[in-house]
Amino acid sequence: MTRGLSWWRTIALTLGAITFLFPFYYMIVGSLQVAPDTSLSGALPRPDDLSFDNYSEINAAIGLWRSLLNSVLVTAGVVIGTLVFGVLAGYALAQLRYRGRGTLFAVMLLLQVIPFQLLVLPLYVQVVRGYGLADSYLGMILPFVINSVAVFVFRQFFLQLPVELFEAARLDGASEIRVLRSVALPLVRPALLTATLLTFIGPWNEFLWPFLITKETGMQPLAVALANYMSTVASAATNPYGAILAGACVLAAPAVLLFVGFQRHFVSSDVGSGVKG
């Protein structure tokens, strides 16, 4: 009976994996097809119908690698800012004792229910007119450097750490910065990896805000360049379907590789090993 259930579970998981992976497979195949085939039969391409021409064509149209570099710069700035401010805010909300801490945390949670689209206009006025950051990478990065979800993740993780670790460090005369750097951060790696992946997806796929900040094609991230390509240039392409899928593959590849590289690290640290007794 147990062996039968195991076989059914294996079959169900295999079918689920195939269903999940099929869109990625179809995207890759479509990006390599010379002649577009949007039917289901296009999932089984002919070898003589495969080439990298679509990648060359979209690279010539939008500067694929330059746009990819812009995406890397913007996303790296957002991720670094999110990790720095997220760790500091999460540690303060979890380990420090001060008046209004609970109220501050409740307000932070309320920020998560406000759609970013409602903040676009006031943020645009503040960043462009107030700070003069139009047509700049900093203008694309600044609104995203503090992420309430990342702060929540770090706060919850810091709350799980044994209080004895922090008390022992303070008794030895360590400052709060030293406690954070030497005690908390070495134990918070799973939260750092989780926050990195969660933060990476947003700015990497964001196209509305960068489009508002800059109209210069040389500074636009890949998501913006692809959106412009689909709305203006794609109809004149030899194989617009394949070129769009080629751009989508380039856009999706870093996120997939990041997840594959980090997924084995999404485990809890043995924080209890640092406590004696």
- Residue 81's pLDDT is 93
Residue 272: pLDDT band with limits 50, 70, 90: very low
Q: Which amino acid would we find at residue 177?
A: I
Name beta bridge partners: 50. Answer: 33
Contact 198, 150 (CB under 8 A): yes
Q: pLDDT (tens digit, 9 = 90+) per residue, 52-63?
A: 888 888 888 888
229 within a domain of the structure (yes/no)? yes
Residue 44 lies in domain: 19-271
- The total number of structural domains in the chain stands at 1
CATH number, domain at 53? 1.10.3720.10
CB-CB neighbours of 74 under 10 Å = 27
12 within a domain of the structure (yes/no)? no
pTM of the model: 0.80
98 within a domain of the structure (yes/no)? yes
276 within a domain of the structure (yes/no)? no
6 within a domain of the structure (yes/no)? no
Contact 138, 78 (CB under 8 A): no
- Residue 273's pLDDT is 42
5 within a domain of the structure (yes/no)? no
In whole angstroms, give the CA distance from residue 97 to residue 52: 59
**What separation in angstroms does the CA of 175 have from each of 90, 91, 151, 162, 181?**
17, 13, 22, 18, 10
Contact 215, 90 (CB under 8 A): no
Q: pLDDT (tens digit, 9 = 90+) per residue, 86-136?
A: 999 888 888 888 888 888 888 888 887 888 888 888 899 999 888 899 889
Q: pLDDT (tens digit, 9 = 90+) per residue, 221-246?
A: 988 888 887 777 666 667 778 888 88
When comparing pLDDT for 175 and 233, which is higher? Answer: 175
4 within a domain of the structure (yes/no)? no
8 within a domain of the structure (yes/no)? no
Contact 81, 140 (CB under 8 A): no
